[in-house]
A and B are shown apart, each in its own frame.
Chain A
């Protein structure tokens, strides 16, 4: 095993085991859990090694099949993509431990099909993070989307309808992105991101280049569900099988935000984005602020835990898009740090929701009464996740929000700062309402009679680890920013 191929092993492990899960999983269910956990654990270890290597000796680029870029497809391993690889593989590993349990309950006899799609989705996400080629990015984007469509459609009731709406919206998004790539190809004659970036400043592209940027951004915004384009997300994510929600909710939107950063800074430059078009820049921050306020308000109207969480995801997308477009290094640091934190916070809350659903069978607020007595460990972890979402120190959520607010103040974007504070308040209301409901009991029920009925160990262990990780990462955000994220920021910051 050569060390320069580490990132290939990270990506190949889930992709190859996906096929074996499908083949061998038909014969025995033991293969499904063994292969899934084994390959994801392997990926996690390999990606941690890769991050260590990048931190000690810097990033590198890799040419697949020895075709020299810009003709061949180039994979880029730098601080940012190595960090994202670690995030994806670790989140996928923890989510899969819990997902194995809930899929066994919800989709009996179809575990091998579910985990085939699940592993291909993870391989696709890893490919998205690594690729340095604009067209390859489109193909991988569709690989992740198609697997997600399938996973969501495996849910019960209205899930196929939600999945079909997602297909229509997702395809429009991907087609817009492809159109943007087409315009760039027409203007520059190349598809390699670094090559496009080197050609663009020398040419007077004018309207065509601006159109390309607009198409690519709108396409990605549809995929990441930025507020006015978010219509598909709440239904799709809340109706998906629990196991699918566990992986899709923490990772899909966050990886798409990473892609937006790649398009913004690997293809275009801060000069082009921020200095040449200040109106566009502040306009997008305004849209992000609006997204945060509206999505938080919509979350208030929900009466189901999972639906409420999906609207919070939409609000969080606004945080990161706004942070990336603040055009200063503090805002960018906050956006990148929030990608990591938000993935873990969302994972923590969805794991808790999965555990509650496994025991009580419903996530409607009415059925959550007395849940603290029934599942104390699960709810303790849920509370940590909720505090992180609100932004209570020392949980991870506080620090990234702090960076975002400081960045907003430095850029003078007061609407964005107010939106962030408003959303924190709304999150506090949302989660304290659930905590309050959880402490109350049904009428006529005395608390001695509520039996303690915790979720199975396989669902508790990842949940508790994630909750602890939220605090550890919160306390360690200084070194994390200093040694990784500062180096991951694009040139020009």
Chain B
């Protein structure tokens, strides 16, 4: 494999992240249904999580759970374990994303009770 195809296949996770992000972006901007907008936002955030987690990968490396006595004796072989930091960062990002989704759903519930619909154009019509 060579040329463009080679670049795409070798870094396919990053290409998927870009595609996912664009799908999410389209849903947030283009869709008229408020729940679809929210789902688009979630896809967008998931794409970023994929990007971060991809950056921690090392080929042939183990999970970063080490034997304490081994480490004291021989030290850590950094090439032997994946980088755990991006995963930890993304745990926090997931928490943030979940809380935003929660707040947004609560607000959507209020909007639905107020207008009886979640279609943006119907709500704007009712507002006149």
- Convert B106-119 into 0s and 1s, putting 1 for each residue whose CB lies closer than 8 angstroms to a CB of A: 11101100100000
Bound complex: CA A175 to CA B25 (Å): 11
CB contact between A171 and one of B52, B55, B100 (< 8 Å): that residue? B100
Q: Which residues of A contact B127 (CB under 8 A)?
A: 158
Bound complex: CA A167 to CA B28 (Å): 11
B13 at the interface (CB under 8 A from A): no
Q: List 30 A-B contacts (CB under 8 A).
A: A135-B92, A138-B96, A139-B92, A142-B96, A145-B100, A146-B96, A149-B107, A150-B103, A153-B110, A160-B107, A160-B110, A160-B111, A161-B123, A164-B34, A164-B104, A167-B103, A167-B104, A168-B28, A168-B37, A168-B41, A171-B44, A171-B45, A171-B100, A172-B28, A172-B41, A175-B44, A179-B48, A182-B48, A182-B51, A185-B86
A182 pairs with B55, CB closer than 8 A: yes
A178 pairs with B107, CB closer than 8 A: no
Task: List the 7 closest A-B pairs by CB distance, nearest first.
Answer: A160-B110, A142-B96, A153-B107, A160-B107, A160-B111, A167-B104, A171-B41
A400 at the interface (CB under 8 A from B): no
Bound complex: CA A490 to CA B110 (Å): 46
- Name the residue on B nearest A143 (C-beta): B96
- Convert A161-174 into 0s and 1s, putting 1 for each residue whose CB lies closer than 8 angstroms to a CB of B: 10110011001101
A298 at the interface (CB under 8 A from B): no
- Convert B76-100 into 0s and 1s, putting 1 for each residue whose CB lies closer than 8 angstroms to a CB of A: 0000000000100100110010011
Q: Which residues of B contact A191 (CB under 8 A)?
A: 89
Bound complex: CA A150 to CA B108 (Å): 12
B104 pairs with A182, CB closer than 8 A: no
Give A165-219 interface residues, CB cut-off 8 Å to B: 167-168, 171-172, 174-175, 178-179, 182, 185-186, 191
- The number of residues on chain B lying at the interface, defined by a beta carbon within 8 Å of a beta carbon of chain A, is 29
List the interface of chain A (C-beta within 8 A of B): 135, 138-139, 142, 145-146, 149-150, 153, 158, 160-161, 163-164, 167-168, 171-172, 174-175, 178-179, 182, 185-186, 191
B93 pairs with A178, CB closer than 8 A: yes
B44 pairs with A135, CB closer than 8 A: no
CB distance from A123 to the nearest CB of B (A): 16
CB distance from B87 to the nearest CB of A (A): 13
Q: Which residues of A contact B111 (CB under 8 A)?
A: 160-161, 164
Q: Which secondary structure dominates where chain B touches chain A?
A: helix
A182 pairs with B52, CB closer than 8 A: yes
- Name the residue on A nearest B106 (C-beta): A153
CB distance from A248 to the nearest CB of B (A): 15
Known: A135-B89, A167-B104. Contact between A179 and B51, CB under 8 A?
A: yes
Apart from A164-B108, A167-B41, A175-B48, list 20 A-B contacts with CB within 8 A.
A135-B92, A139-B92, A139-B96, A142-B99, A142-B100, A146-B103, A149-B103, A150-B103, A161-B123, A163-B107, A167-B103, A168-B28, A168-B37, A171-B41, A175-B44, A178-B93, A179-B51, A182-B48, A182-B51, A185-B55
Q: Which residues of A contact B106 (CB under 8 A)?
A: 153
Bound complex: CA A468 to CA B18 (Å): 53
Bound complex: CA A178 to CA B41 (Å): 14
A167 pairs with B89, CB closer than 8 A: no
Q: Which residues of A contact B107 (CB under 8 A)?
A: 149, 153, 160, 163-164, 167
B100 pairs with A167, CB closer than 8 A: yes
A186 pairs with B96, CB closer than 8 A: no
Q: Which residues of B contact A146 (CB under 8 A)?
A: 96, 99-100, 103
Bound complex: CA A146 to CA B106 (Å): 12
Q: Which residues of A contact B99 (CB under 8 A)?
A: 142, 146
- Name the residue on A nearest B40 (C-beta): A168
Q: Which residues of B contact A167 (CB under 8 A)?
A: 41, 100, 103-104, 107
CB distance from B40 to the nearest CB of A (A): 8
- Name the residue on B nearest A139 (C-beta): B92
Bound complex: CA A149 to CA B96 (Å): 13
Q: Which residues of A contact B114 (CB under 8 A)?
A: 160
Bound complex: CA A160 to CA B107 (Å): 6
A178 pairs with B48, CB closer than 8 A: yes
Q: Which residues of B contact A178 (CB under 8 A)?
A: 48, 93
Bound complex: CA A135 to CA B28 (Å): 24
Q: Which residues of B contact A182 (CB under 8 A)?
A: 48, 51-52, 55
CB distance from A25 to the nearest CB of B (A): 20
Q: Which residues of B contact A139 (CB under 8 A)?
A: 92, 96
CB distance from A118 to the nearest CB of B (A): 16
- Convert B8-47 into 0s and 1s, putting 1 for each residue whose CB lies closer than 8 angstroms to a CB of A: 0000000000000000010010000010011001001100
Bound complex: CA A363 to CA B86 (Å): 49
